[in-house]
Amino acid sequence: MSDSAINTQHHFPYKGREQKRFEIRYEDFKRTWRKFCVPQYTTQNIQQRLHGDAEGAFKVFAFAHVAGQENSLAFRYFSLAHQLFQLHVQLELNPGVEQSRVIEGHTIVQIGKPYKVCMHGTDLIEPYCSALLMRDFAAIEGMQGYQHDNFIHPLAEALDYEAPLADFFLGIFNPRADINKSINEFIRLSAPECMPQRRQPYTYNVLMPFLEILLSILAKDEARYHQAIKDALTASTKHYSQKRTEGLACGWVPLHICGPAALAFDQLGYKLPEPSPYLPEWLIYGEFREWQ
């Protein structure tokens, strides 16, 4: 049993029934994944399938964490989600370029072709943070090809802050990037008057805390970092404990907090200010080498 089993004060849904919910979801995904062979990954809907499968694998990982399953089992599905997220992103960002991956014994060869009408900067946060946690910096390098204007359909609702948002967090690993300009643009364009009210809760409870953690790391300010983690957890719990969001796995294990926490640990040796059932320390501190 994992030490990160969820306590009774947690906001997760299905309180007292996590074990059963995990078993149902685990068996459902396991049956589905067994069918994910090459023919199904050579259809025209490859990117849509990859993204859906990545979300499914992440949900199994999150359920495993919630249910207090063995960390090795949780890691298997996190690793699977990471690989699927990365292949999806690379196919999106490199139309016409062949990508080849072997994922759990399945060889997937596909030519990049966008399936979405748009790819927002926020769409890169999950693969970006999973790469930080897996210490897969080649994946982050591969994301540097994202250029906001190339991936936004004219009819899509793309908020103005999406471009500087992506420029900032990707720019942390790009020595040529002007990250100060990007963060200032994001702050200016994320004012309430710059977006619909329905987009504000995610912006203020997820995106801004995510960026504040990254800024505290860049400043090498441990006290600021600890406070940023605490504030991000408070805001995340507030956001994802609402009726409309409590079923989202990204609220049970918030990648926007875990990813930067792994970066802080690797680069500066910063540990979390205190244990939290939301944050699997074995993943953040890279204690999964034996399962890779």
pLDDT, tens digit only, all 292 positions of the chain: 344 443 434 555 545 555 666 677 677 666 665 555 545 555 556 777 788 888 888 988 988 888 788 899 899 999 999 999 999 899 888 888 888 888 877 778 888 876 655 788 899 999 999 999 999 999 999 999 888 877 777 767 778 899 999 999 999 999 999 999 999 999 999 999 999 999 999 999 999 999 999 999 999 999 999 999 999 999 998 898 887 787 788 988 999 999 999 999 999 999 999 999 899 999 999 999 888 7
Alpha helices in 94-171 (DSSP H): 125-134, 137-142, 162-171
Q: Please state, as a whole number, how many other Cβ atoms lie within 10 Å of the Cβ of residue 151.
A: 22
Query: Can you read off the two tokens belonging to residue 195?
Result: 């977006």
Which residues lie below 8 Å from residue 103, measured CB to CB, with a gap of 6+?
Answer: 80, 83, 84, 87
Beta strand 106-111 with 98-103 is antiparallel
Of 185, 192, 180, nearest in space to 218 by CA: 180
Query: Can you read off the two tokens belonging to residue 42?
Result: 């050579």
Going from N- to C-terminal start, the domains of the chain cover 18-291
List the beta bridge partners of residue 107: 102
- Three-class secondary structure of residue 25 per DSSP: helix
- Three-class secondary structure of residue 22 per DSSP: helix
The overall pTM is greater than 0.75 = yes
Angle ∠(112,117,122) on CA atoms, nearest 5: 90
Which residues lie below 8 Å from residue 170, measured CB to CB, with a gap of 6+?
Answer: 124, 128, 140, 143, 144, 146, 177
Which residues lie below 8 Å from residue 233, measured CB to CB, with a gap of 6+?
Answer: 254, 257, 276, 278, 279
Residue 266's identity, in one-letter code, is D
Of 284, 259, 227, nearest in space to 71 by CA: 284
